Structures are given as C-alpha cells and as structure tokens.
Structure 1
C-alpha cells in the first residue's frame, strides 16, 4: 500500500498482550510470501482448504503492510470514535434496520446481547469505494489512506478466493469473478471499538460481549490486535481463544462462502467475551475487511467442483430456494441483535429464519 501524503493523527495505545494462560485454537498459517510461484500457491491452497474445511479460521502473514503502516491504520481507526462529537455521529448513523446496511455508524447499545444487556460496541463502516458516501469531517483527511487500505485488502481477498477455488479443484477465478471491485456489494472496511462494561452487566450477560454467530459474507479479514476476547467454537465443541499474532491477519469463512462451497468451507461460530483480567478496563479497537459476493449472485453451490462430486454437497436449502446475496445480506443485517429469537431444541442455541435459511445464534 502506497501512502503519498500523511496527515497527523492521534496515536491509539492498545493494552499490552495478555500474560494469562489461555486455551488457544491451533490455526494454520498462510504465508503470502509463497504465493508468487505455482508451487507455493499449491501449498497455500492446501493449507487454506484444510483450515476452512476443518476449523473455519487461519492466519495470514507477509500480507504486504509493514508493522508501522498497520499501526497507523489502527490510529486512523480510532478517529471516528475519539475525534467525532456525538451530534455529528448521529448525522452519519447507518440505516441498519431501514435498509439492511451497516454503512456509517452503529451506535453503542444497539444489539441485545443477553440477560437484558445491550452491547457496548461502536462501529464505523466504510464502503470499499470511500467516495460512495460522505464521512465525518475528522475522518476526511485520511480517506485516501483508507481507500488504499481497502484496495490492499481486496487484493488479499482475491488471493484467498483463488486459494479456495484451487482447493475445490475449480478454475482459479471462480470466486474472484463473484467479488469484483467495481460490482455492487457490501464489501467494506469496519472500524470497531469495544468499551468496558459494568460488573453488573458482565454478570447479567455472562461475560459475553458479542454472542456466538457466523459472519454474513464470504470471507472476513481481521487485523490482529492485542486485546484477547475473540473465541471460536472448535470442532470438539469447546470455546477456544484466538491468539494475537503481531501484524498478522485472522481469516474466516462466512455464510456466503459456506453456501457457495456446498458446505465444504465452514462458516465457523465465533464470539467475543470479556478480556482476561490483565486487560480489563481497556478499550478494544478492531479493523475488519468484510468480503461479500456481488449482490445479484445466487447462493448456489459450485456443483462443478470435482471435490464436491467426491465428498457430496451439504445443503442448507434446495437450489430452487437459493436466495441472492443481496436478499440474504439485508435480511441478516436488519435482524441481527434486534429481533426476538426462538429457542432451539439444541442447548444454548437460538434461531431465526432469514430468506428461508435457518440461522443459529449461540449463547
């Protein structure tokens, strides 16, 4: 990512990494330095395939941004929260329920978490085309950098999609062609800030900050940060922590990728809980790139895959009932954390139906 002009930005100081002995998930590592050769690409495709088939998450290293560049992006990520007054934030509030879109601000206490407790999470979401909408005044000097950052992430997204297509023995650009930069989609950069809660709310919510869920889109790229709070539901049914890896990315599959891959790549359930004792009282600042297919793509499995011919397709709905990305995305966005969920027969699981698809939420 090339940045020609840099405006001064206040520094965001995160908490130091935890020293507590946590049970971490064992995730594969995709080293993009190997992606320049056919042999390296084949090796990475195997790693990515196995990771998303068996667990649903993996790390990426050597992604093209230096540590100072990444740290500057975290400084910029804090601007919409710490440098914009509340009155101006309200002017850029996202039309989440009205339009099923996260573009703009999601305020704190918008989602219901558990036990009558609402979230303490503030997000600011920017379409990958940063000129698509207006932004708060304090953020405007950094829009060129954010635009470069979005393009850089989209390049990483395309590399991941190529690896996943190779893993299914499909033409390399199969998924890339469904995620064009210029097409209409809700692929965007999210800046996300978690604020500490009261002890009373922690008890009521059972320390859950964001209940167990799968992501809506195809591929999520999370820029690793030091405050431990993210957990995944591992194949053995246990919640395991995600280890912070300095200047690395954490990648996971979402619902759309699970549908497009016929269930081969799993949208893994993950949640955010109260950090370890030595990190409590600190805010948790995150940067995420949410990849989503083009809005008009039908969520049909890639049945031409020879891998799926061998292992079979795991269906959540019949092909004739497959929703488009747009209808599924808007439905899930508008309902998340705002509708009353039904208790499932499975323990600690609540469900809703979105575009004919049963969506599970885990407490």
Structure 2
C-alpha cells in the first residue's frame, strides 16, 4: 500500500496469546507469495481448493500487508467504540432489519443468543466506498487509510484468492474475480468489531457461547487473525475446534454465496464465538473483517461450465429461480439474530426460512 501522511492515534494493546492446552483445528495455510510462480501456483490452487472443499476455512499469509499496517488499523478500530458517546452512536446506528444492510453501528443487545441473554457485541461497518455515507467525527481523519485497506483487501488479496478457487474449479482464473468486481454493483463491506466480556450468569445461561454457530451469507469473509482465542469452526468431523492465532495472517471462510455458485463443491463454513480460555478471561476481542459479495445482479446458481462440477455433480442448489446477490444479502442480514427460530429435528440446531432456504443456527 502507498504511504500516507497519517494522523496520530493511541496504540491498541492486544491480549497475550493463550498458553492453555487447546484443541486446535488443523487449517491449511495458503501462501500468496508462492502463488506468483507457475510451480507454486499449482500447489496453492490445490491447497485452496481442497481446504474450501473440505472445511471452508483456511489461512492466507504473505498477502502484501506488513504487520505495522495491520497494527495501525487495529489502533483505529477501537476508536468508534471508545471515543464516541452513546448519543453520537445512536445517530449512526444501522437500520439492519429495515434495510438489510449493516452500515453504521450494530450496538450491543441486538441479537438473541439463548435463554433471554442478548449479545454484548458492538461493530461499526463501512461500505466498500466509504464516501457513500457520513461517519462519526473521530473516524473522519482516518477514512483515507480505511479506504486504502478496503481496496487492497478486495483487489490484491481476495481477488487473488478468488483466482485460486476459480482454477480449483478448472475454470479461467478470472471467473470468480469477474463476478466480484470492485465497482458500484458490489456491496462488500468493512467491519471493526468488538466482543465485550460478559458476567458469569450470562455465560452460564448461554453455555459460554458469545455468537451462535452459523454460516456467513457472504461469498467469502476475511478476518485478520488476532490473539484472543474464541473463534471455533465446526470441523469436517462435526467437532468444534479453535482457530489458532497466526501473526499477520488472514483467516478466510467460505460463505453461502460461494457454496451456491459452486454447486456445493466449496463448503460454507459453520463457525461460532465462545468465551476465551481462562488466561484470556476479561480481555476484549477486537477484530478487522471484510465481508465480500459478488455484484448485486449475480444470481446464486452453479457455474455449470466447471469441469469439476460436471464430474463431481451438484450437491447444493436453491430451489426455483435463484435469488440475486442483492436479494440474498438483504434478506439474510435483516433477519439474522432477530428472527423467531424453529427447533430442528437435529440436536442443538434451530432454523429460519430465508428465500425458501432452511438457514441453520447452531447452539
């Protein structure tokens, strides 16, 4: 990323890495630097393909951003939570249910977790083009940096990942990047997200779950690895396992949109957030996220021209006319965490119906 003249900001001090004995998920590491040579590219295509097919989660390293840049973005990330008063936050509160978009604040206590306990999660969301809306005063000096981070993440990291996954489907490498264009049709968004610790009685009522198990409705989600150990994946064998922290790595997870356009070959990853281990008790979990969508006009239907899908068959498809990305993203966002869920015959699972699809929530 090109150098910018930047305003000063206080440093965010991250939690120390846990020293506890943890059941870690065995996730693949995709190295974008190695993908720059023909031999290395073949290997990274295979790694990205197999990881997304099997688990829907993998790390990306050597993506082009140095640790200093990521650390500074973390310094900025805490500002909308610690340096904005409640009155100003309310002025920028997202109208999620009404609009189907998260832009602005999602304030704590919006989502129901279990047994009457609501979340203690706060996030602030930026559109892909930050100039689309006004932001709290404390963030305005940092908007050029945030915009550069968004553009670099989309064009230089996520589109490189999408090229690998296109080749994994034995399609031209630009197949997926071409439907994830960085233009006005694309409503991908950037998020600063803060998980606040909870009192003991809420932990007991929710069995320590901070966010229920779910699959993202996006195409892909990128989150910068950070040391508070709380993210778990529902692994290939059905067990919940922790995602290990790797300095300056991105954790990429496949969302429902990619699962549908790959006909189920690429798996949408089920994940949740739970109370951190004892030696991280009381720490706040601050994160950087990029939620990537296709263009709004793209229909969520399988890429039938893929030789892989022709050989393997279609295992996941939406009934009837496939919705567009715009319809899917708005309907999923507007109902998440606030819809009345029904009990599934499967133990520990509730569900809602969105666009005729049974969307599962894992307790």
TM-score range, shorter chain: over 0.9
How far does the alpha carbon of each residue in 1:82-117 deviate from its partner, in whole angstroms, 9 at most, with x for none?
111111111111110010000100000000011110
C-alpha separation between the residues in 1 aligned to 2:7 and 2:316? 49
TM-score (structure 2 length as normaliser): 0.98
C-alpha separation between the residues in 1 aligned to 2:91 and 2:77? 19
Counting only pairs closer than 5 Å after superposition, residues 1-363 of structure 1 correspond to structure 2 as: 1-155=1-155, 156-318=157-319, 320-363=320-363
CA RMSD of aligned residues (A): 0.9
TM-score (structure 1 length as normaliser): 0.98
Shift in Å, 1:14 = 1.6
How far does the alpha carbon of each residue in 1:121-160 deviate from its partner, in whole angstroms, 9 at most, with x for none?
0000001211111100000010000000001100211001
How far does the alpha carbon of each residue in 1:19-58 deviate from its partner, in whole angstroms, 9 at most, with x for none?
0100000011111111222222221111000000011111
Shift in Å, 1:351 = 0.8
C-alpha separation between the residues in 2 aligned to 1:114 and 1:294? 35
Shift in Å, 1:184 = 2.1
Query: Is the 8 Å Cα contact of residues 302 and 317 (structure 2) preserved in structure 1?
Result: no
How far does the alpha carbon of each residue in 1:169-208 deviate from its partner, in whole angstroms, 9 at most, with x for none?
0111111111111132320111000000000000001100
C-alpha separation between the residues in 1 aligned to 2:357 and 2:297? 17
C-alpha separation between the residues in 2 aligned to 1:183 and 1:130? 12
Query: Which secondary structure state, in structure 1, belongs to the residue aligned with residue 213 of structure 2?
Result: strand
Shift in Å, 1:323 = 1.0
Give 5+ residue unaligned stretches, structure 1.
none
Query: Is the 8 Å Cα contact of residues 195 and 285 (structure 2) preserved in structure 1?
Result: yes
How far does the alpha carbon of each residue in 1:254-274 deviate from its partner, in whole angstroms, 9 at most, with x for none?
000000000000001000000
How far does the alpha carbon of each residue in 1:52-85 deviate from its partner, in whole angstroms, 9 at most, with x for none?
0011111111111111111101001111111111
C-alpha separation between the residues in 2 aligned to 1:207 and 1:97? 27
Structure 1 stretch displaced more, 93-102 or 30-39: 30-39
* Number of residues of Structure 1 aligned to a counterpart in Structure 2: 362
C-alpha separation between the residues in 2 aligned to 1:186 and 1:262? 23
Query: Which secondary structure state, in structure 2, belongs to the residue aligned with residue 60 of structure 1?
Result: strand
C-alpha separation between the residues in 2 aligned to 1:130 and 1:7? 18
Give 5+ residue unaligned stretches, structure 2.
none
